[in-house]
Amino acid sequence: MLNAEADQLRTQHKAQAVLATALADIIGTTNATSGSGEVALNLRHTMGNTTQTHAFFPASMSEYDTLRQRLGLSPCSAGICAPNTLEVNATKASYWKTQTATAVTVSANDTPDGENTAWYWVEIFPQANASTFVYRITVLANGVTSSSAVLQAIWTRDTSTRGQWRSWHLLHD
């Protein structure tokens, strides 16, 4: 019993740690430096041209519209989501557990339990009467045993690299 409780607590802590990884993804830059020092374009932060189909974090409402067009009927791709409507089940842990194919898989370097133990999604919602966005970050973390934790948090951007956490909670069914 004690081992199960300890694993659940470790799993929840892992989910909380992944929030920082997701936030770094949101506020990342348009250029990424590889291990060899080469600078390459980070497609997660640039819309690109009209022939490209990748998901990206929009910087304006026109880019948001482009993202929605690229996603088509799927609300998410590569962990970036722009849902057409609020999904009723998006507040249930079981919904996210079935959506890992559309998530970002957290690398083994960023989680102590190795590959395929943590995922995240960033839903982007236009903020009413503003040109900024509200981000709902959902993290799924699996423990060593059968435990799992699904954490959801709201973050809003103040500047290009700063923002505020508005709320967070654990999801259940």
| pLDDT 10s digits, 40-74 | 777 898 898 989 999 999 999 999 999 999 999 88
Residue extents of the structural domains in the chain: 2-170
- The reported pLDDT for the residue numbered 132 is 86
CA dist 10 → 112, 114, 159 (Å): 10, 14, 33
> pLDDT at residue 2 above 70?
no
The model carries a pTM of: 0.88
24 DSSP assignment: H
- The reported pLDDT for the residue numbered 30 is 58
- Mean pLDDT computed over 140-152: 89
* Residue 173, amino acid: D
Half-sphere exposure (Cβ direction) of 136: Cα atoms closer than 13 Å:
18
> pLDDT at residue 147 above 90?
no
User: Which pLDDT band, with edges at 50, 70 and 90, does 127 fall under?
Assistant: confident
- Mean pLDDT computed over 122-139: 90
- The reported pLDDT for the residue numbered 62 is 92
User: Which pLDDT band, with edges at 50, 70 and 90, does 37 fall under?
Assistant: low
- The reported pLDDT for the residue numbered 118 is 92
